[in-house]
Structure 1
Amino acid sequence: MTGNGDRLADDISIPSFGQALRRLRDERGFSREHLAYSAGVSASYVTLLEKGERGNPTRSVVEALLRCLDTKAPLTPTDRRHLFDLAGLRVDDAPTSEDLYDSLTADQREALALFHPALAAYIAPGGDVLDANDAWYAAFPGLREDRNIFHWLFGNPIAKLVEPDWKTEARLYVQWLRMTVGRLPDDPSLTTLVSDLARYPHFRHYWSEGTVDFTPPVRTLRLRNPNSGTIREYNVQVGPIQSETYPDRIVLLLCLPL
Structure 2
Amino acid sequence: MLVGDCERIGDEWCWEGRSSVSGDAERDWVAEEITAPTFGQALRRLRDERGFSREYLAYTAGVSASYITALEKGEREKPGRAVVESLLRCLNLMSPLTPSERRHLLELAGLRMTDTPAPGELHAAITPDQHQALVLFAPALAAYVDPCGNVLDANDAWNAALPGLLEDGNVFEWMFGNELARKVQVDWESEARRYVQWLRGTVGRNPDEPVFTDLVNDLGRFPEFRASWSEGGVDFIPPVRTHRLRDPQSGEIREYSVQAGPVYSEIYPDRIILLLCVPI
Specify the TM-score bucket, using the shorter chain as the normaliser: 0.7 to 0.9
Out of 73, 86, 90, the residue aligned to residue 112 of structure 2 is 90
SS in 1 for 2:204: helix
Counterparts of 2:100 and 2:245 in 1: how far apart (Å)? Answer: 39
- Residue 126 (str. 1) matches residue 148 (str. 2): yes
* Alignment-derived partner of residue 112 in structure 1: 134
- Residue 222 (str. 1) matches residue 235 (str. 2): no
CA contact (8 A) 2:184 2:246 kept: yes
SS in 2 for 1:196: helix
* Alignment-derived partner of residue 205 in structure 2: 183
* Alignment-derived partner of residue 248 in structure 1: 270
Out of 61, 70, 73, the residue aligned to residue 48 of structure 1 is 70
* Alignment-derived partner of residue 7 in structure 1: 29
SS in 1 for 2:78: coil
Counterparts of 1:166 and 1:151 in 2: how far apart (Å)? Answer: 14
1:12-47 CA-partner distances (Å, limit 9, x unpaired)? 333221210111222333343443444344444433
SS in 2 for 1:233: strand
* Alignment-derived partner of residue 38 in structure 2: 16
* Distance change >3 Å, CA 67–CA 183, structure 1 → 2: closer
Counterparts of 1:59 and 1:187 in 2: how far apart (Å)? Answer: 15
Query: Larger deviation: 174-183 or 17-26?
Result: 174-183
CA contact (8 A) 2:146 2:272 kept: yes
* Alignment-derived partner of residue 141 in structure 1: 163
Counterparts of 1:253 and 1:165 in 2: how far apart (Å)? Answer: 18
Higher RCO structure, 1 or 2 (CA under 8 Å, sep 6+): 1
Counterparts of 2:92 and 2:109 in 1: how far apart (Å)? Answer: 18
The alpha carbon displacement at 1:158 in A equals 1.3
Query: Larger deviation: 98-107 or 120-129?
Result: 98-107
- Aligned counterparts, 1:161-200, within 5 A: 161-200=183-222
The alpha carbon displacement at 1:105 in A equals 3.4
Counterparts of 1:194 and 1:65 in 2: how far apart (Å)? Answer: 34
Counterparts of 2:146 and 2:62 in 1: how far apart (Å)? Answer: 36
Structure 2 segments unaligned to the other structure (5+ residues): 1-23
- Residue 203 (str. 1) matches residue 251 (str. 2): no
1:78-136 CA-partner distances (Å, limit 9, x unpaired)? 21111011223222164444454444334323322221222111122221212222221
CA contact (8 A) 2:39 2:105 kept: yes
Query: Larger deviation: 246-255 or 89-98?
Result: 89-98
The alpha carbon displacement at 1:227 in A equals 2.9
* Alignment-derived partner of residue 5 in structure 2: none
SS in 2 for 1:29: coil
Partner amino acid for 1:78?
Answer: S
CA contact (8 A) 1:240 1:249 kept: yes
**What's the TM-score, normalizing by structure 1?**
0.86
**What's the TM-score, normalizing by structure 2?**
0.80
**What value does the CA root-mean-square deviation take over the aligned residues?**
2.5
Counterparts of 1:214 and 1:249 in 2: how far apart (Å)? Answer: 15
- Structure number, greater radius of gyration: 2
The alpha carbon displacement at 1:245 in A equals 4.0
Counterparts of 1:134 and 1:12 in 2: how far apart (Å)? Answer: 49
* Alignment-derived partner of residue 66 in structure 1: 88
SS in 2 for 1:206: helix
- Residue 27 (str. 1) matches residue 49 (str. 2): yes
